[in-house]
Structure 1
Amino acid sequence: LIDNMREIMLEMGFVEIKGPIVQTSFWNFDALFQPQDHPAREMQDTFYLESQGDIPDYSRIKQMHECGGGIGSTGWGGCWSPEVARQEVLRTHTTGVTIKYLAEHPRPPVKAFGIDRVYRREAIDSTHTPEFEQLEGIVMDEDVSFSHLLGILKEFYEKMGFPEVRFRPGYFPYTEPSVEPEVYIEGLGWVELGGAGVFRKEVTSPFGIDHPVLAWGLGVSRVAMLRLGLKDLRLLYQSDIEWLRRTPVSIKL
């Protein structure tokens, strides 16, 4: 399934990017305009390491968080701490890789994607595991709009074998406007398959990115559960020989 998703993204003209599993909080949180007291940063949600990492010049990020960076935003107020930003974590999403890539490529066009494993302190049950795969895509170019984002998403999901796609408003900390794509599954109805939006200027401005950035992501394991008809996510990660024998080698869509 991951190979099939990769083929679709490459066919649509995207380049694949990679990044380290261990990220500083700077790239995982701060660069995405998540406040340093945000609940997602709590120990019960994130795997923190004892180490600290190097971070780039943070003056514009600090200004953005504290007072809005002069772009008409109010920021978060308070006092932004570089020591908090240096704390290393197991990445909680692939968006930290994305924003670092954008910071290194601030001029359009940029059309990139990544499929990688991420880590969160989840209680293990039939629909949650502490590590899982995530697919993420971004487009940055002159005059791209929210309408372009919806068109790209519709094409992507159709290529994945979901002809019926609809969108409903959503909320994500670093995109505005934001949307949640849903696909229609026979017998299940409408199923949410990810999140998407346009990066806020609070995210892009500190890195000198002057053009809109369209971004979206989805959990690969949720798609795998739908395709394989699984009721328990843990089946994807256990060494059950009989189940592996019964499951097709390829589920190419």
Structure 2
Amino acid sequence: MKFNPEQVKLETREDFDKAWSQCAKYLTPVDEGKDYSIKMERGKPHPVYETMNRLREAYLNMGFEEMVNPIIIDDVDIFRQFNYEALAVLDRVYYLGGLPRPNVGISDERFAQIEGIIKKPLSAEDKETIRAILHKYKKGEIEGDDLVADLAAGLNVQDSKVAVVIDHVFPEFKKLEPESSHKTLRSHMTSGWFITLGALVNRRRTPLKLFSVDLVFRREQEENADRLRAYHSASCVIMDPDVNVEHGKAVAAGLLKQFGFSQFKFKPDEKRSKYYTPDTQIEVYGYHPALKGSNTKYKDGWVEIATFGIYAATALAQYDIPYPVMNLGLGVERLAMILYQAQDMRDLVYPQFKEDWEMSDEELAHMISMERVPLTKEGHDLAMAIIATAERNGNAPSPCAFEAWSGSLNGRKLRVSIVEKEENKKLCGAAYLNEVYVYRGDVLGIPLNNPKFREVQEKGVRVGIRYIDAIANAAARNAEEGIYETAVKMSRAPGDVNIVIDPVGLRYIQGKKRRVDFRGPVFTTIRAEAIE
């Protein structure tokens, strides 16, 4: 298993023992004299966010400054930017709505209902408190998520009782229907760029080079393999008196070369959005060698990856922007699909919802661990000593016994040995050094350097646990708990050698009808005895 070389330093051995006992399943202990530390395994990034980070670095490498554009756009701005195309654009946006604040009247009958729920009479001051708080709520001076708490504090009763009051006494709250505003969720990063550039035009020198990688939202009729309702746009602008289409080509090439694209084609975009100057809206096609011959729709190696253009002067004038502006944008999810050779955007972005889910051998390997491990530093030392003794003497002829460790464990002085009393055998059985591998969804305990398992050893994922490793850790944990003999004969299942597969991994293995094979003669006995 691969671990991040970064280590968390611990001040004392007591800290080490505590971390080891609490996190042994997830951390690798390191004990070098007084230098106690733990290694933490590196996490796994999501393909979309990994691609986003790479895009951010690519833009920064090209001298662009990162910005956060407005995500909530008034529909007035859509009309200013898109002119007579605005209605078509607005058909694709999400309008933001909210619940209106009800005008709640309070009669004597309602006051009586409230008294019945809170189990105490309301004074004239209490009644006025209720009226005042509800009036402030109606005016927006009190937020909806504070209403219950404010009423409870004003009446000196529990929040739960006020929640019942609102539910039973004021049906107006239940009958509320959301009302739309004129605010929309950004459907094009362009909508935010006009507002941002309008704010900066008199504050910043040209050329102004900005980028943003962020969410946009489209009210699609349905989501499919190539289209989502919420996705990320990696967009940039250059505002400068001399900017032109050639700058767009240079930015596109400079950006995409950082992702392995080697050749580019540019052709006019037939959509011809009105916020672009006529004949400046260009589609960017890139050639990626990794796509050539791939099992994707881009098997010829060419893919449409970005669009750029020069904003129309009429649209820029709506924001008092006197300079030409080049805008380039690409979909992060589309680029991630190319880089990860995914067939369906939904499966790439939301793998947790994929019906026919797949788990890589590496992922499955991370779901295999030792079930019982020692909880103390001395227990860990004992396990390591057992392993070293078995490695040195495992093939010694029996009857025999080899002392592995002696010392104090949880206040008891112990001597621990590996023993085999029967004659004409070996200290350990033939499978004691079998190592756990995952190969094509099978979980196997295999003897190393056996030609029968050469393909598994060369192409499979090594878990990093041998039978003797797991058995030694179980023996050390047993010794900590006062159990002084640990014996394993034939292994038939992971649990026989103190190995456990996470239930998620087991469900995957069973669902895919793959194998778990831990058979083998282990015949290893570890015995502890008290010493004076």
Give the TM-score normalised by the residue count of structure 2.
0.37
Aligned to 2:237: 138
SS at match of 1:202: helix
d(CA) in 1 for partners of 2:241, 2:85: 32
d(CA) in 1 for partners of 2:183, 2:336: 30
Q: Which amino acid aligns with 1:207?
A: Y
Q: How many residues align?
A: 211
1:101 to 188, 193, 196: 196
Aligned to 1:91: 186
SS at match of 1:144: coil
CA shift at 1:205, angstroms?
Answer: 1.7
2:254 to 155, 161, 167: 155
1:218 to 330, 335, 344: 330
Runs of 4+ aligned structure 1 residues displaced above 4 Å come to 240-248
Q: Deviations over 1:50-109 (max 9, x none)?
A: 36xxxxxxxxxxxxxxxxxxxxxxxxxxxxxxxxxx711111121122111110111522
d(CA) in 2 for partners of 1:22, 1:247: 41
1:48 to 95, 108, 119: 95
d(CA) in 2 for partners of 1:135, 1:247: 31
SS at match of 1:224: helix
SS at match of 1:8: helix
d(CA) in 2 for partners of 1:15, 1:93: 19
CA shift at 1:117, angstroms?
Answer: 0.9
1:129 to 223, 228, 231: 228
Tell me, which stretches of 5 or more residues in structure 2 are unaligned? 1-50, 99-180, 364-532
| CA spacing shift, 1:36–1:148, aligned 2, 3 Å | closer
Tell me, which stretches of 5 or more residues in structure 1 are unaligned? 52-85, 249-253
1:137-216 correspondence runs (5 A)? 137-170=236-269, 171-176=272-277, 177-185=280-288, 186-187=292-293, 188=298, 189=300, 190-216=302-328
| Larger helix fraction of residues | 2
Aligned to 1:238: 351
Q: Which amino acid aligns with 2:94?
A: F
Question: Is the CA contact (8 Å cut-off) linking 1:165 and 1:181 kept in structure 2?
Answer: yes
SS at match of 2:237: strand
CA shift at 1:142, angstroms?
Answer: 2.5
Q: Deviations over 1:172-205 (max 9, x none)?
A: 2211211010112423232111211001001112
The worse-fitting range, judged by mean Cα deviation, of 29-38 and 128-137 is 29-38
1:229 to 335, 338, 341: 341
Question: Is the CA contact (8 Å cut-off) linking 1:175 and 1:196 kept in structure 2?
Answer: no
1:11 to 49, 57, 61: 61
d(CA) in 2 for partners of 1:98, 1:153: 18
Q: Which amino acid aligns with 2:312?
A: R
Aligned to 1:57: none
Question: Is the CA contact (8 Å cut-off) linking 1:31 and 1:99 kept in structure 2?
Answer: no
d(CA) in 2 for partners of 1:238, 1:95: 30
| CA spacing shift, 1:227–1:37, aligned 2, 3 Å | closer
d(CA) in 2 for partners of 1:26, 1:11: 36
Q: Which amino acid aligns with 1:103?
A: G
CA shift at 1:240, angstroms?
Answer: 6.3
d(CA) in 2 for partners of 1:214, 1:8: 18
Considering only aligned residues, what root-mean-square deviation do their CA atoms show, in Å?
Answer: 2.3
Question: Is the CA contact (8 Å cut-off) linking 1:33 and 1:174 kept in structure 2?
Answer: yes
CA shift at 1:144, angstroms?
Answer: 1.8
| CA spacing shift, 1:167–1:245, aligned 2, 3 Å | same
Task: Say if 2:75 is the partner of 1:25.
Answer: yes
d(CA) in 2 for partners of 1:246, 1:25: 50
CA shift at 1:22, angstroms?
Answer: 2.2
For the pair shown, which has the larger CA radius of gyration, 1 or 2? Answer: 2
Q: Which amino acid aligns with 1:239?
A: Q
CA shift at 1:239, angstroms?
Answer: 1.9
Task: Say if 2:160 is the partner of 1:111.
Answer: no
SS at match of 1:35: helix
Identity of aligned residues (%): 26
